[in-house]
Structure 1
Amino acid sequence: MEARDTKIALRGRIDGMRDGGMSNTDIARELGIDRKTVYRWLKRWDEEGNLAVKPRSGAPRKTTIELKMRYARENIFEVARSYHVSANTWGWILLYGVGVLAELVGRFTAEQYIEILEEVMLSSVRTYAFPYPERVIFMQDNCPIHTARIVKRSFQDQRNMELLAWPSKSCDLNPIENVWANIVNVWEP
């Protein structure tokens, strides 16, 4: 059945429901259409006695029903586009090697960064690098999380840790970028 036939059948149902004693509002609710649409079609039926589609001016339709149905919602299926795998992690390196890699869960915040510094980085520096570090020079970029007031205060509270000044927009000073590149090259999911 074509779409045009379905529309005519729906209009016939509207008239039949009115003949059955239903109000315009009840008909609209029952058929899931607007109340004004019901009113318009009943008015046309009363005035013209015809529910057929009227000829319209303009160019004839260029698309066929087959082409139109090609893009219908029920005919479109989602196709997997990529097998991209990502993991949000935080890691550190030192002059003698790499440190512990920590997994980040959820959105990364300044509070989470302080927690990672205290629980992961500082404890692993003491374990792996030197058991009793006299002074650790810490280098980080100017990411907003790293430069947050709460993070700066946390560094001021650390007696044996010195924060290296980082010039704005100096990505060439970031040695950990090379470590991430090596991890990506070696890792196979």
Structure 2
Amino acid sequence: MIDPIDGTTNFVHGLLTWGPAVAVVRDGDPVAGAVVAPAREERYLVGPERATGNGAPLRVSDRSDPDSFVVAPILRYTGSVADRDRFAALTTRLVTELGDVRRLGSAQVTLALVAAGVLDATIGPFPPNAWDTVAGALMVERAGGTVTDLAGEPWTPDSDAIVATNGEAHDAVLDRLDGFGE
């Protein structure tokens, strides 16, 4: 599974958060992947046993209070009125229910930053593209985090949403998002 440029809008506008991503899926299960953010000089790799960032092991953050989390939403954005409304609703919910909010514009880099402990969580409450999420979701898991859908079921590339956290307060994050995206 290949995404030549995740964060295309960022790339086109000269923003630094974008990059190619590759994931290997065997019998429906992700087994390896890579996310590269060239403008940030970052390379994230994940395999069956571990995840690394620029050669160093990745580890999710250890923050346990969702009120102190730095959260970045994942949202496919086409510029449509419906997408703007979804983004506004999601941002409002995250600001009122969780800590600080950032939108980076690249799902794979966002997930890699959760795996690296830079971000504490990311939420994509609408069906994400598999090529935008598979490598990064595997990184979060290999780095010690938790990845589910909004109902708390294990995330798969076919899930209708993605919630990736450091695992310390995953259930609390899900509780605070209860009913969103329905």
TM over 0.5: no
Q: Which has the larger radius of gyration?
A: 1
Structure whose residues are more often helix by fraction: 1
TM-score by length of 1: 0.24
Structure whose residues are more often strand by fraction: 2
TM-score by length of 2: 0.25
Higher relative contact order (CA 8 A, sep 6+): 2
